[in-house]
Amino acid sequence: MAFDRQPGDNHEDAETLYQQGLAFLYGTDVPKDYAKAAECFKSSCKKGHMPARRELGIMYASGQGVEKDLERAVLYLGQAADSLDPSALYHLGLMYEVGSGVEKDMQKAVRMLAYAAEMGFPGADSDAERVDAILTEQRNRNLRARPLLKLQISDVDVEAACCKPMLDALLAQDIVFIDTASGPALLGEDLDGMDAVLSRCPYCGAPVQVVPRDKKYRSRHPELLPHLPFRRCSQAHEGIAAAFRSLRQFIIILRR
């Protein structure tokens, strides 16, 4: 391998080193050699090559070609994820799911996996759905166990329902939590049947309150209110929710 360096071609040089690393990683035209792959990625990293950071991060996470170092894995993958590298988002998402090298955070995990899925990273969609199903199950269990008094949302989900009809609408996902550019919100239908961000419960009129995530709920005093008619949301809200969600994810990831 010739590692010729010319002044002024730093970026090309970094890309060449990255490609050499991939060749060693996958054994393309050269014998597979993880240690050599890691060396190439390290040299490429030093020149600021982002995809090389991602590959090095994955190697530190798995201990392939280098001594396993979760702290470095998170550092490199985090830098690549900040530049919206789908593979880095995917791998970091899985680390957040199990709490490997980071504090376990299923909400962060699902956002990263969903973002990687939206960018078309293979397999990310099924992982995102899997984590989302776990979170939805947890959320629904919490909602059923908490007092029906106030309509509260946090930065990641619905925390408490105000009345039985609202609880049912949330469980049926007729009313959904969304992340918007201006903050968390509930999306449902307005009186004309149009998708709308709700500022109050359409059944009992309780205002939507924003509270800290995983607020502690002690007493259980269900306050059942008369059921008011509420039409099922159109399919369209899923599209709007997805658009809001990806916008919010984008902002969250950039701020991370």
Instruction: Indicate the residue among 80 and 206 with the shorter CB distance to Zn ion.
Output: 206
Question: Does residue 196 belong to the site contacting Zn ion (CB under 5 A)?
Answer: no
**Alpha-carbon span 210 to 65, nearest angstrom:** 47
Q: How far is CA 74 from the centre of its chain?
A: 15
Which residues inside 208-227 make contact with Zn ion, applying CB under 5 A?
A: none
Answer for which of 106, 117, 204, 240 binds Zn ion (CB under 5 A) is 204
Number of amino acids touching Zn ion (CB under 5 A)? 7
**Alpha-carbon span 230 to 217, nearest angstrom:** 28
Answer for which of 25, 58, 162, 169 binds Zn ion (CB under 5 A) is 162
Ordered alpha helix ranges (H), the chain? 10-26, 34-46, 50-62, 70-82, 86-98, 106-118, 124-145, 164-171, 236-255
Q: To the nearest whole angstrom, how small is the minimum distance from the Cβ of residue 165 to Zn ion? A: 6
Instruction: Indicate the residue among 97 and 157 with the shorter CB distance to Zn ion.
Output: 157
Q: To the nearest whole angstrom, how small is the minimum distance from the Cβ of residue 148 to Zn ion? A: 8
Question: Does residue 80 belong to the site contacting Zn ion (CB under 5 A)?
Answer: no
Question: Does residue 170 belong to the site contacting Zn ion (CB under 5 A)?
Answer: no
With the C-alpha atoms ordered 109, 114, 116, 121, is the resulting torsion angle positive or negative?
positive
Question: Does residue 178 belong to the site contacting Zn ion (CB under 5 A)?
Answer: no
DSSP strand E in 150-245: where?
151-153, 158-160, 176-180, 183-189, 195-198, 208-210
Q: Which residues bind Zn ion (CB under 5 A)?
A: 162-163, 166, 201, 203-204, 206
